[in-house]
Amino acid sequence: MANNKKLLSATSKNYTKEEIESKQEIENKLHAFEKLDSNIKPPHYLDTMGKNEWNRVVPLLQDLPISNLDYHLIAQYCNWYSVWRKSWQDVKKNKATLIEENSSGIKTKKINPDFTVMEKATTQLMRISNELGMTISSRMRLVDVSEDEEDDPFA
């Protein structure tokens, strides 16, 4: 993922005129896609927690170059959020490790399976939120660097 693209305005590299025109053309095509409708309904397969997350994040994504093509990616995010919340609730209640007794009566500690699910869900949430511009680092790739440079009195 080291080769993630940045908006032209968010880079400080000195591009040639041809590179600038090429990057600008690509960026203009980003806005040619149909913008995600803020009133779009969540997919029917999301549970209540997933639908609540959908209703929370979709309005927040309106300022980003998110289109209707990202509909299912947002749905995946909301589904993984629901999985994470449910597993987190179980881990909160039962702890990260469980005590099991084997057939010989010996008690051993075992990782709570919901802890493993929670870790997997966290990984997926971070991956998808990064793709959608929902993390500070992914949003920083969309911010105009020149705005920060102008405000710096020591530059």
At 62-84, the pLDDT tens digits run: 888 888 889 999 999 999 999 99
User: Which residues lie closer than 8 Å to 112 by C-beta, 6 or more apart?
Assistant: 90, 91, 94, 95, 96, 97, 98
Rounded-to-integer distance, Cα 130 and Cα 121, Å: 14
Pick from 10, 13, 7: nearest CA to 31: 7
Alpha helices in 68-112 (DSSP H): 71-94
> pLDDT digits over 103-130, tens only?
889 999 999 999 999 999 999 999 999 9
For residue 148, name the pLDDT band (cuts at 50, 70, 90): very low
Q: What is the identity of the amino acid at 91?
A: V
Q: Is the pLDDT of residue 24 over 50?
A: yes
Q: How many CB atoms lie within 10 A of CB 102?
A: 8
Q: Three-class SS of residue 146?
A: helix
Give me 14's structure tokens: 């000195």
Q: Is the pLDDT of residue 147 over 90?
A: no
pTM, entire model = 0.71
Q: Is the pLDDT of residue 144 over 80?
A: no
Identify the helix (H) or strand (E) that includes residue 109: strand 107-111
